[in-house]
Structure 1
Amino acid sequence: MKIIGGSLAVGAGFGAATSLVNAVSSPYSLGAPLTGTVWMSAAKVLSLLMDAGWAWAALAVVVGRWAGTRARGAVAGVLALVAATAAYYATDSFARDEPFAWYGGEMLMWWVASVLFGSALGAVGAAVGRPGVIGLLAGLTVPVGAAVQMIILPPGSRITSIPESDLAVAVVWTAAAAGAIWAVHRFRAA
């Protein structure tokens, strides 16, 4: 029960926080009073980081690691992503002053993806602490996933290039390199 409740709470917190950061980073939403300030730029960078696929995948890996076993990790990964999706769209509905029902189809699509990928990512997270090649590969999952996303679909690539995009890319590359170094160091130490 602790794993279920924790996964749901962490997921809901992540989803709501991501939606709020997105709203604060927009001059057309909650961020209107921050337009042109350093706080708006910081919110945009944070939005680009939190609303990326690798960050959501990392959520499932982290709760899977916390869950301990592959089976519990798989369940935790799914629950965290399902809760994150629900909280994200509920918060979007509030921040945009739109009916929650408008998000039903999109939310259902992401719930299906949460079941498919959350179970695998949660199980991978449970293997992060294991010694040997399995632990190494599990530890490299998020850093490699983040690096691949930076190559294929970097933050802000769907919008006109903004200075915050370059900073977000630099942060992700730095974190991915640090994560990979940590995983390799842990593997070599074991």
Structure 2
Amino acid sequence: MSALAVGAGFGAATSLVNAISHSYADLGSRAHTTSGWSVVEIMSVLLDSGWAWAGLAVATGWLVTHAGEGRPAALARGGAAGALALLAATAAYSIVDTIRSDGPLSSWYESEPLIWWVTSVIFGAPLGAVGACVKYPEVIGFLARLTVPVGAAVQMIVLPPGRNEVVATIVKTIVWTAAAAAIGFVIVCFLSVERRRHSLTAAESP
């Protein structure tokens, strides 16, 4: 239920922010097309990015698992939650889009290509499993915590966002800054925990 609720909320919010962004866009203006931007458009680009949807699956996998839970059970629960979250997000996005376009609500599932439904399961499950690993203190937990910020930073290089250079620059600056801060925080915390663990091991040694 948590995975469905979080996914549906994310998908509906993304669709609404996209709609607001489009309503404010003056696509007939050359200046707006080549260099214009708005806060809501930046939010729209951020929410509708692949790394944000991947982060949804990872976050949901982390949310539904517990640190003391057995690893196989945690991975299974996290994987299922990640897939359900992305399916719910896609469904909510489709429903809101259908309502906004005044289409028949019974056709909401047709507003999104089949590829997005399939992708939700194919990528949602492993990403949810990655989220389940976040709570583990070992190297696997360290790598899991780096997945979203590293993925976000890489996407800014491979698939630059935005419809013009100004939007792209603003979004890349935001994402790279946040990713660098997150990566630095994860590394510092991991090294601190490892240093403390080695200190305790050395103190217990005869």
TM-score normalized with structure 2 length: 0.79
Q: Which of 39, 45, 48 is matched with 1:48 structurally?
A: 45
**3-state SS in 2 of match to 1:106:** coil
Listed as ranges, the gaps of 5+ residues in structure 2 are: 66-73, 194-206
Q: Which of 100, 107, 121 is matched with 1:115 structurally?
A: 121
Q: CA deviation at 1:185?
A: 1.8
Aligned to 1:182: 185
Among all aligned residue pairs of Structure 1 and Structure 2, give the percentage whose two residues are the same amino acid.
55
**3-state SS in 2 of match to 1:26:** helix
2:61 paired with 1:58 = no
Q: Which of 84, 107, 112 is matched with 2:89 structurally?
A: 84
**Aligned-pair RMSD on alpha carbons?**
2.1
* Matched positions, count: 176
Contact kept in structure 1, 2:17 and 2:44, CA below 8 Å:
yes
2:26 paired with 1:23 = no
Q: Which of 130, 136, 144 is matched with 1:124 structurally?
A: 130
- List structure 1 runs of 4+ shifted beyond 6 angstroms: none
2:98 paired with 1:93 = yes
Q: CA deviation at 1:59?
A: 0.2
TM-aligned CA distance change 1:154 to 1:99, over 3 Å: farther
Contact kept in structure 1, 2:83 and 2:128, CA below 8 Å:
yes
Contact kept in structure 1, 2:161 and 2:167, CA below 8 Å:
no
Provide, for residues 34-76 of structure 1, a one-character-per-residue CA deviation record: whole Å limited to 9, x for no partner.
x98xxx7111000010000000000000010111121111011
User: What CA distance in whole angstroms lies between the structure 2 residues aligned with 1:105 and 1:90?
Assistant: 8
Letter in 2 for 1:23: A
